Amino acid sequence: MESSLSGVRVLTTRPAHQSRDWCELLAAEGATVDTIPLLAIEPIESGPEYQRTKNQVMDFDQVDHAIFVSRNAVRLAFDWLDAYWPQLPVGPRYYAIGAGTARDLESHGPECTSAGGAMDSEALLALPSLQQVDGERVLIFRGAGGRTLIGDTLRERNARVEYCELYRRTLPADATRRLREYRATPDIITVHSGETLDNLASCLQKSGRGDLFRALLVCPSARVGERARDLGFSRIAVARNAGDAAMLAAVENASPD
């Protein structure tokens, strides 16, 4: 039986250290997979942000709700937590956005509450345990400069919210060059975040590969899809969420016959 993506060329854009499983999943369905990372994750290892993270981790037993917004946030947070809390305090409740983030979090021991299939901030904010948080302390583990919806909404509910910013998202130095030298014409391009999308649009313009704005773009949410249309992409498919299963389903449904 022919694989679902046989004859389909897909360009993936995930950070290099996160791309292998996604590329293997596409290849297993018969796709020809090209990879040009358009986002890099750089841990914050100095400066005032580093000291603030240290202080927040040392006070972790005072936290009521610990929210992890990404797999990178889990990975880097537990570099800190394992060092300062070999046995995690019993006080915090743990939350994860997305199934992958939840799996990574639970691999470190905590039982967590996931935002489930919707896999986004809005679903997290609908959880019953985050409705009555007056005076409770919330620590959000994330990258620098992420969305503020979670923090803003919980502050409106009178929670005491802090961000623990563990990493910066940057554009890989060779991204524009690699796109300029990329000779293929993919049927589909996948992006897993709004920031990756912005980097893609910028690099396509700088590299002279504006023709790729005509490729079919698979996005992880309606919000990112709307942003893609504003940036000039005209063929857009929206996945249910950013998880591999949902993204693969969107790629398969969008792929040319």
pLDDT (tens digit per residue) in 144-161 = 988 899 999 999 999 999
Poorest-confidence range of 76-80, 88-92, 227-231?
Answer: 88-92
pLDDT score for 117 = 58
- Average pLDDT for residues 107-116, to the nearest whole number? 82
| Whether the predicted pLDDT of 36 surpasses 80 | yes
pTM for the whole structure: 0.88
Please tell me what DSSP assigns to residue 232: T
Do the beta carbons of residue 96 and residue 112 sit within 8 Å? yes
CA distance 43 to 50: 10
Q: Which residue has the tokens 């993270």?
A: 53
Average pLDDT, the chain: 93
Rg (CA), the chain: 19
Q: In which residue ranges of the chain is CATH 3.40.50.10090 found?
A: 9-39+172-254, 43-169
Q: What would the pLDDT profile of 213-249 be if each residue is shown by its tens digit?
A: 999 999 999 999 999 999 999 999 999 988 899 999 9
pLDDT-derived band of residue 116, with 50, 70 and 90 as boundaries? low
CA distance 222 to 32: 26
**CATH number, domain 43-169:** 3.40.50.10090
| Whether the predicted pLDDT of 182 surpasses 90 | yes
| Whether the predicted pLDDT of 173 surpasses 70 | yes
Do the beta carbons of residue 191 and residue 22 sit within 8 Å? no
Q: What is the phi/psi pair of residue 143, to 5°?
A: -90, 165
pLDDT score for 1 = 46
pLDDT-derived band of residue 256, with 50, 70 and 90 as boundaries? low
CA distance 248 to 252: 6
- Average pLDDT for residues 40-58, to the nearest whole number? 95
Do the beta carbons of residue 105 and residue 112 sit within 8 Å? yes
Amino acid, single-letter form, for residue 9: R
Token pair belonging to 96? 């994860």
- 1 or 131: whose pLDDT is higher? 131
CA distance 40 to 17: 9
pLDDT score for 79 = 97
- Average pLDDT for residues 157-177, to the nearest whole number? 97
**CATH number, domain 9-39+172-254:** 3.40.50.10090
- Average pLDDT for residues 191-196, to the nearest whole number? 95
